[in-house]
Amino acid sequence: MDRSTEMDTTEERFSGSASYRYVDGWTNKFATNIHSLMAPSRCGEDHSHLHRVFRERAKEGAIYGELSRCDCDFMVPSQDWARTDSGMYQNHIRTHGNKEEAAKNMQHHGYLLRSLCPEIHKRLEVYGCIGSGSHGVVFAAREKYPEDPQNVKHYALKVEPHMTQMEAIARGRGPTMACWDDVGGNIRYIPTEAMMMRFVTGSRRFPVIESVYTHDLYQTTIMSAAAVDYDPRRETRTSDDDEDYFPSFLGAQLIEGKTPLLSEVEVCKVAWQMLQAMMYLMDMNMSHDDLSHHNYVVDEYLNIQILDFGLMIFALDGEHDFQVTRWAWLPYQEYQISPELAIELSKEMWKEGQYDVEEERIVYLPHDARVEHLWKFGCIVYDLLHGYSAWEDRKLDHRIGGIRQWAQKRAESNEESWWRMLERRDRVINEELPIDENLSQDCVDVLRAMFTKEPEKRPTLHELASFPWFQGHWMNEGTFRRPAADFPEDSESTSEESGQTVEMNESWE
């Protein structure tokens, strides 16, 4: 068989995923290309770098075995019984009532747990809740039958409503599922976020995905329990206690009021690890579109992990796909506003009316998404160093809080918080960046570079990583301890992410 015949055969094998590329707006999406990128197909040959990187990183995740594990069958109207992760199930639209039921019951934890795949309950004991948001709930669980009773593995179970591919098309959404081959050679449909997580298994800057159970109305991603502090109750709680909370330590907790809780050297460690995560993603032409203080967690030893792959830009064609025409703005992101966005929002059309806390505004503003994401990263670093955001008033007004709390506080403080926000936008546009005079010159150089007013003059990701401040500034500083961290009595800590024991000063390189 010659090369062209082999590739034609491969294209037929991957026709299920390839056909979705013809859906309007789905052509270059991760979910509709990853299946063929992994194969010796035309797509893989045309994008040889991505083909090589994804194949290598898939091997790192393969040690956890089968990715999609729910084998329960459900009736597909006018067809037959099928697994939720099958093409037959993904190609149909369920009744409106079913979808409404799934969304309505997201806050009823008992109902959610009863709706999970039965195989999950056979394996794991759910004993509490790690957190919840507008799109899902994360439960805490541990092994029921551990191989080593002295080293029980703990997991986070992220439960979300499931949307089939055909439902996504009908609602004008992006692709929700990506094709993947199981160990038997069958094509399975994997939730896009879970599929992305499979390719970052080799980096400790992200939680490790163990498996996913797509079960009718809900999908459950089982992953390592990132930055959930030591608590002896986690070893004894049962499913009867699922309302108990064992939250992860979010980056937002590293700032108290307008007071930073970390030293410059400690911030340097956090910032470098976040930069590592961004570079690891960029090797796959991916960039995180929702970097914020609520989307990374910090363990007891000041190691960070990036969360939430729901908003991720994938650039199949490299530079071209990183060029976007719109900037999505939400009130809770006000502290990360850039000069170019502030200028656009200073126009009268955007000043009229009051915005709802959760209301998204889509601003027409052509730009490079990587530049936007590095600006958000810079805002996180500045906040951690100063305790307040760039160009923000240094003194805390308890009536309106800080700019990071503006979305929540403005309803209480009425027009004053609104005008304070507009005044800060003017400073973002017109004033030089104020920097704490006690910071080192290397740190100052990084901040000035990241906060350059003109987007085209800001450093790229790899240029930023070459700055002296990121060259091991923190590595010889001994053991790090995160504020408000509880430690086991012994001198070692169990790493739930890897299932191994690591030293307390382990740097997670």
Residues placed in the known binding site for ATP = 158
Reference 155, options 99, 116, 107, 110; nearest CA is 116
Among residues 249, 260, 257, 230, the alpha carbon closest in space to that of 302 is found at 249
The Cα–Cα gap between 190 and 221 comes to 10
3-state secondary structure of 353: coil
110-124 in b/e burial notation, b at 16+ Cβ within 10 A?
eebbebbbeebeeeb
Whether 91 contacts 167, CB under 8 Å: no
* Residue 233 in tokens: 């109750």
Residue position matching structure tokens 């070459």: 466
Nearest to 124 by CA among 228, 213, 63: 213
**Whole-angstrom distance between the N-terminal and C-terminal Cα of the chain?**
45
Give me the residue label for tokens 């800060």.
424
- Partnered with residue 224 across adjacent β-strands are 155
DSSP state for residue 217 in the 8-state scheme:
T
Judge contact between 133 and 292, C-beta under 8 A.
no
Give the side-chain half-sphere CA count within 13 A for 231. 19
> Which tokens go with 313?
């830009």
Contacts of 174 (CB under 8 A, 6+ apart): 25, 26, 29, 31, 168, 192
Strands (E), 24-80: 73-75
Query: Which residues fall in the annotated binding site?
Result: 158
Per the CB < 8 A criterion, the answer to whether 254 and 260 are in contact is yes
